[in-house]
Amino acid sequence: MEVISAPTWRIGPGEVPELDVVVVERSALGEFAVERTPLLVVEVLSCHHGMELVRKRELYATGGCPNYWIVDPDVPSVLVLGLLENRYAEAVTITGAETSS
């Protein structure tokens, strides 16, 4: 397993988003991009995250990534999403100094 920061994921023709952090099996790594579905994608929000975040959520779900975390450093918080059928469902939100049990 590999944890990689700022790679791209080749989801389909014309769909190669840049990711903040991704966890993949080594065999998923191609020469220039992640070529197979990651185990986890982590998005770290910046000040411009509105519609782009909605688009990426749909794109990652279409690509079949089972786990998607959204980190908001301003709150601070982590929204943990799991793929159910073809959509993400919220599993848990952790804020501040909380821990998940």
Q: What is the pLDDT of residue 101?
A: 59
Domains of the chain: 2-95 (3.90.1570.10)
Give the global pTM. Answer: 0.86
Contact 25, 35 (CB under 8 A): no
Mean pLDDT of 7-34: 90
Q: What is the pLDDT of residue 28?
A: 92
Q: What is the pLDDT of residue 25?
A: 94
pLDDT tens digits, one per residue of 21-56: 999 999 999 888 899 999 999 999 887 667 778 889
